[in-house]
RNA sequence: GGUGGGUUGGCCGAGAGGCGAGGCAACGGACUGCAAAUCCGUGAACACGGGUUCGAAUCCCGUACCCACCUCCA
């Protein structure tokens, strides 16, 4: 059974066939670094990180490109409001984003191109579009260059919209557009904008429009035609539609498959910077660990809207701790992936079904462990670890280790707790259960859980 | 107005014509001095109204409500 993916363009699950056997090129729209990342942003990154890990696991050589948009209207506006250089704002937010990705164990991409580093590539593409008659310099002398939507008959094909049915773009300033739906490839510099936010071009100083950067950078790093293009659903239109139009109008094959992840909502509404209902990643990570937040995201299908709540998040954390508890009991090396897991993942990254297989293996392993079948339990643990690796959720992964100082501290705690446990053992031997329970309560009050096993008591920080 | 998605048990969240996903919570049982952890079991849901079918949560028609995109947005 081969991998099948839902392709937004054809609105169907299709067999995945790469352009070049054994290789996959993936381009994912990253963020505009204008403010701190919220959990929704990170969901997108986690979803595509799972895709990337699965492709890799299936033996593909994956080229994974995720861009950063570090120049745009919002960045300029916000930076001006905060009275600091736009590049400082973008850079700071980029670092915040990196921290959030790291906290969720989103692997670094093959390369992470930034828009400002690719102006020459964009200008080249724009010139090509002008030559081919699909773009024109604004007639009002603003220095803008627009894509001519009417010159490209298949415009709208990605989202199945016809130009006629679109609401006339409420674009505040139609400036020199021939059609209100034409979009900017290049924006002439306005006097109000800092000189540092402009680059020389054949049409005068200016800065790139939003959509060209992705076409130019995908072309540069993945080639004129590549396999998968991803992003959030809101990017379908206009961003992805425009990307595809300008790339294909330039004669490029562009993406074979389009993948879009759904929202994390709060109170039924999309989480968004503009709505101000964002849950920032650091705030959420005060409640649960990064690995637990990642589990929460992976347990839902990437195309399903997730209604965020701390209750659901805590539930997910409990579920995940069950998995961890099993691995604490049974030591093993990663083993084979169960067929049902592979099947689930091959079916458009069916992580919910895959997670169900994971829980089945945990229950099976616990059962065997209880029954004294050490080999069987170890084998189950091997399957569990293999599955967790694919999902980026393996507690054994050094990435999740909590800092270097902890090991020494753990030994200290262990010595102290052992002393108390010895006292408790004596009390229990004397059937002085009141004293024994008092010790257990005392340990628990310090945040340490006690578990009596056949091999004696174990402690863990709950 | 156009386009896309949704409504599933106490909760989260899958599935997509027959075969009770999984998790969390609850309850009962096993284990335990009592717990904790673990295991076993219980609880049989699919917005509403029609229709197709031997059989529908799943297909068709209609209705209601919700969300998203068409403007910057994961």
Residue with tokens 């109170």: A267
Whole-number pLDDT of residue A454 = 78
Residues 285-344 of A, Cβ under 7 A from nucleic strand B:
299-301, 304-307, 309, 311-312, 315-316, 318-319, 322, 325-326
- Segments forming the whole domain that contains residue A56: 4-266
Separation in Å: B36 C1' and A25 CA: 49
Domains of chain A: total: 3
Top pLDDT among A446 and A58 is at A58
Bridge partners of residue A206, in order along the sequence: A188, A199
CATH of the domain at A199: 3.40.50.620
Phi, psi of A113 (to 5 degrees): -70, 145
Instruction: Tell me the ipTM for this assembly.
Output: 0.94
pLDDT (tens digit per residue) in A71-127: 999 999 999 999 999 999 999 999 999 999 999 999 999 999 999 999 999 999 999
Work out the number of other CB atoms within 10 angstroms of the CB of residue A438.
Answer: 14
Whole-number pLDDT of residue A411 = 82
Top pLDDT among A410 and A358 is at A358
Checking each nucleotide's C1' against the CA of A45, the nearest proves to be B74
Domain end (from A235, A266, A297):
A266
pLDDT at A406 over 90: no
Which residue is closest, via its CA, to the C1' of B66? Answer: A268
**A151 and A236: one domain?**
yes
CATH of the domain at A348: 1.20.120.640
pLDDT (tens digit per residue) in A224-260: 999 999 999 999 999 999 999 999 999 999 999 999 9
Q: How confident is the model at residue A174 (pLDDT cuts 50, 70, 90)?
A: low
Checking each nucleotide's C1' against the CA of A320, the nearest proves to be B23
**A375 and A444: one domain?**
no
**A445 and A363: one domain?**
no
pLDDT (tens digit per residue) in A412-445: 888 889 999 999 999 999 999 999 999 998 888 8
Separation in Å: B34 C1' and A459 CA: 18
pLDDT (tens digit per residue) in A178-217: 888 899 999 999 999 999 999 999 999 999 999 999 999 9
Mean pLDDT of A154-164: 88
Asked if residue A198 is part of any domain, the answer here is: yes
pLDDT (tens digit per residue) in A9-31: 998 899 999 999 999 999 999 99
3-state secondary structure string across A92-149: HHHHHHHHHHHHCCCCCCCECCEHHHHHHHHHHHHHHHHHCCCEEECCCCCCCEEECH
Asked if residue A215 is part of any domain, the answer here is: yes
**A43 and A74: one domain?**
yes
Whole-number pLDDT of residue A276 = 60
Query: Which bases of strand B sit closer than 7 A to a protein CB?
Result: 1-6, 11-15, 21-25, 32-40, 66-74
Q: How confident is the model at residue A171 (pLDDT cuts 50, 70, 90)?
A: very low
**A417 and A385: one domain?**
no
**A428 and A393: one domain?**
no
Which residue is closest, via its CA, to the C1' of B36? Answer: A451
pLDDT (tens digit per residue) in A365-382: 999 999 999 999 999 999
Work out the number of other CB atoms within 10 angstroms of the CB of residue A268.
Answer: 7
pLDDT at A271 over 90: no
**A324 and A197: one domain?**
no
Checking each nucleotide's C1' against the CA of A33, the nearest proves to be B73
**A393 and A429: one domain?**
no
pLDDT at A459 over 70: yes
Would the Cβ of A156 be found within 7 angstroms of any atom in strand B? no
Mean pLDDT of A447-459: 84
| Residue closest to A205 by CA, chosen among A216, A194, A213 | A194
Whole-number pLDDT of residue A269 = 75
Would the Cβ of A235 be found within 7 angstroms of any atom in strand B? yes
Mean pLDDT of A290-298: 96
Domain end (from A350, A369, A400):
A400
pLDDT at A354 over 90: yes
**A221 and A82: one domain?**
yes
Asked if residue A232 is part of any domain, the answer here is: yes
pLDDT at A1 over 60: no
Asked if residue A450 is part of any domain, the answer here is: yes
**A29 and A172: one domain?**
yes
pLDDT at A401 over 90: no
CA geometry: angle A21, A24, A30, nearest 5 deg: 170
Q: How far is CA A340 from CA A416, A422, A448, in A?
A: 45, 45, 37
**A333 and A457: one domain?**
no
pLDDT at A58 over 50: yes
Separation in Å: B56 C1' and A364 CA: 34
Domain end (from A371, A400, A429):
A400
Residues 196-225 of A, Cβ under 7 A from nucleic strand B:
210
Whole-number pLDDT of residue A172 = 46
Average pLDDT, chain A: 91
**A375 and A412: one domain?**
no
pLDDT at A153 over 60: yes
Separation in Å: B3 C1' and A70 CA: 30
């Amino acid at each position: 059974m081969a991998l099948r993916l839902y392709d937004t363009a054809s609105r169907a699950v299709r067999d995945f066939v790469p352009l070049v056997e054994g290789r996959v090129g993936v381009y994912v729209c990253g963020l505009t670094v204008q403010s701190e990342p919220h959990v929704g942003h990170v969901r997108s990154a986690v979803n595509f990180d799972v895709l990337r890990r699965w492709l890799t696991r299936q033996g593909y050589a994956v080229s994974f490109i995720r861009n950063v948009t570090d120049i745009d209207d919002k960045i300029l506006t916000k930076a001006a409001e905060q009275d600091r250089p736009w590049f400082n704002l973008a850079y700071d937010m980029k670092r915040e984003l990196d921290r959030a990705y790291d906290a969720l164990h989103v692997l670094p991409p093959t390369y992470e191109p930034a828009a400002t580093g690719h102006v020459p590539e964009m200008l080249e593409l724009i010139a090509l579009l002008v030559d081919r008659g699909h773009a024109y310099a604004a007639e009002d002398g603003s220095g803008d260059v627009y894509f001519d939507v009417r010159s490209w008959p298949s415009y709208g094909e990605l989202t199945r919209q016809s130009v006629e049915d679109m609401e006339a773009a409420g674009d505040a300033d139609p400036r020199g557009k021939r059609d209100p739906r034409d979009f900017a490839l290049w924006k002439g510099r306005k006097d109000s904008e800092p000189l540092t936010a402009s680059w020389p071009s054949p049409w005068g100083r200016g800065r790139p429009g939003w959509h060209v950067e992705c076409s130019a950078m995908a072309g540069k790093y993945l080639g004129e035609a590549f396999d998968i293009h991803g992003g959030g659903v809101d990017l379908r239109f206009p961003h992805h539609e425009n990307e595809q139009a300008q790339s294909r109008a330039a004669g490029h094959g562009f993406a074979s498959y389009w993948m879009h992840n759904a929202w994390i909502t709060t109170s039924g509404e999309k989480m968004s910077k503009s709505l101000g209902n964002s849950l920032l990643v650091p705030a959420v990570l005060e409640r649960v660990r990064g690995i637990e937040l990642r589990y929460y995201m992976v347990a839902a299908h990437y195309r399903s809207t997730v209604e965020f709540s701390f209750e659901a998040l805590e539930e997910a954390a409990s579920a995940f701790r069950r998995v961890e508890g099993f691995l604490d009991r049974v030591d093993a090396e990663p083993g084979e992936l169960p067929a049902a897991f592979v099947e689930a993942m091959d079916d458009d990254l069916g992580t919910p079904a895959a997670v169900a297989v994971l829980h089945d293996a945990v229950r099976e392993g616990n059962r065997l462990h209880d029954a004294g079948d050490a080999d069987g339990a170890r084998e189950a643990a091997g399957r569990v670890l293999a599955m967790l690796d694919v999902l980026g959720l393996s507690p054994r992964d050094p990435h999740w280790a909590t800092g270097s100082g902890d090991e020494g501290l753990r030994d200290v705690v262990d010595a102290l707790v052992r002393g108390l446990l010895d006292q408790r053992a004596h009390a229990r031997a004397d059937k002085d259960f009141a004293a024994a329970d008092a010790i257990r309560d005392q340990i628990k009050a310090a945040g340490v859980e006690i578990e009596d096993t056949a091999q004696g008591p174990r402690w863990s920080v709950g």
